[in-house]
């Protein structure tokens, strides 16, 4: 079997490309309404959960990075201690108010919440985006009720920028620009 492509490491985490064998672990997250509570209602289900098939469609979309921006994507987030798949985090391209943006995305299995792991992943992704990919600006799109997500965005150095509204209602844009070296 081919070794999956590693993207970046932090103290406790390895982020690597998703592989087909991640389907069960990813579906275990996406079938849980608590994990999906602050996501837009993409699938057919009113509680925002995804079916196994919908999870596979998303996973397949990201197998080689984002199809239109292969350097971006959602990446398997692995706890180095025990090799467990504990979430998926990454960088996603969007166009907001006519402007191309890159979002830092994070989801950590609720069994591992409140250990600073999302903050650690987000900071690792921030450094990778600025230093390896040469990006100069990052955002997070967050439903106002998602207090934990706001805290993760702030922990990586973002600040509230604006409120936007789409077909699902209001969401907040947090943002940061690459710090000037020196
Ligand atoms: C948001 C999420 C990634 C946070 O993961 P985590 O690993 O628990 O985050 P951290 O441990 O790094 O915690 C970051 C901060 O949020 C706080 N926090 C975590 N969960 C919280 C909660 N449910 N309510 C309030 N604060 C919370 C932590 O105490 C910490 O605060 P501090 O910086 O003041 O110490 C996780 O809750 C999750 O995966 N949620 C579902 C997916 C999701 O909503 N993703 C974001 C979409 S925009």
Contact 45 CB / ligand 1 (< 6 Å): no
Measured in Å, residue 101 CA sits from the centre of ligand 1 at 23
| pLDDT beneath 50, residues of the chain | none
> Looking at the domain assignment, is residue 66 inside a domain?
yes
In this predicted structure, what is the pLDDT of residue 65? 95
Measured in Å, residue 115 CA sits from the centre of ligand 1 at 9
In this predicted structure, what is the pLDDT of residue 182? 63
- Tokens standing for residue 180: 């000037």
> Which residues form the domain of 108?
6-177
Contact 104 CB / ligand 1 (< 6 Å): no
In this predicted structure, what is the pLDDT of residue 41? 80
> Looking at the domain assignment, is residue 81 inside a domain?
yes
The number of domains in the chain is 1
> Looking at the domain assignment, is residue 89 inside a domain?
yes
In this predicted structure, what is the pLDDT of residue 45? 80
Q: CA dist 116 to 91, 100, 121, 151, Å?
A: 19, 29, 9, 10
> Looking at the domain assignment, is residue 65 inside a domain?
yes
The model carries a pTM of 0.96
Query: 65-103 burial, b if ≥16 CB within 10 A, otherwise e?
Result: bbeeeebbbbbbbbbeeeeebbbbbbbbeeeeeeeebbb
> Looking at the domain assignment, is residue 182 inside a domain?
no
In tens, the pLDDT along 6-47 reads: 999 999 999 999 999 999 999 999 999 999 999 988 766 888
Mean pLDDT of the chain: 95
CATH classification at residue 25: 3.40.630.30
Contact 14 CB / ligand 1 (< 6 Å): no
> Looking at the domain assignment, is residue 111 inside a domain?
yes
Residue nearest to atom 27 of ligand 1 (CA): 148
Contact 92 CB / ligand 1 (< 6 Å): no
> Looking at the domain assignment, is residue 1 inside a domain?
no
In this predicted structure, what is the pLDDT of residue 20? 97
Residue nearest to atom 17 of ligand 1 (CA): 148
């Amino acid at each position: 079997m081919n070794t999956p492509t590693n993207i970046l490491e932090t103290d406790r985490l390895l982020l690597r490309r998703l592989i087909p064998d991640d389907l069960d672990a990813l579906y275990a997250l996406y079938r849980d309404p608590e994990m999906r509570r602050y996501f837009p209602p993409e699938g057919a289900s009113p509680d925002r959960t995804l079916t196994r098939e919908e999870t596979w469609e998303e996973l397949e979309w990201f197998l080689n990075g984002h199809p239109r921006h292969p350097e971006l994507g959602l990446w398997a987030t692995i706890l180095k201690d025990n090799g467990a798949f504990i979430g998926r985090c990454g960088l996603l391209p969007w166009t907001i108010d006519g402007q191309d943006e890159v979002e830092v995305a994070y989801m950590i299995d609720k069994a591992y919440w409140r250990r600073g792991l999302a903050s650690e992943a987000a900071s690792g992704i921030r450094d990778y985006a600025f230093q390896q990919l040469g990006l100069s600006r990052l955002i997070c799109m967050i439903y106002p009720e998602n207090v934990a997500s706001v805290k993760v965005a702030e922990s990586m150095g973002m600040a509230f920028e604006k409120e936007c509204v789409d077909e699902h209602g209001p969401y907040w844009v947090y943002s940061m620009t690459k710090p000037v070296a020196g």
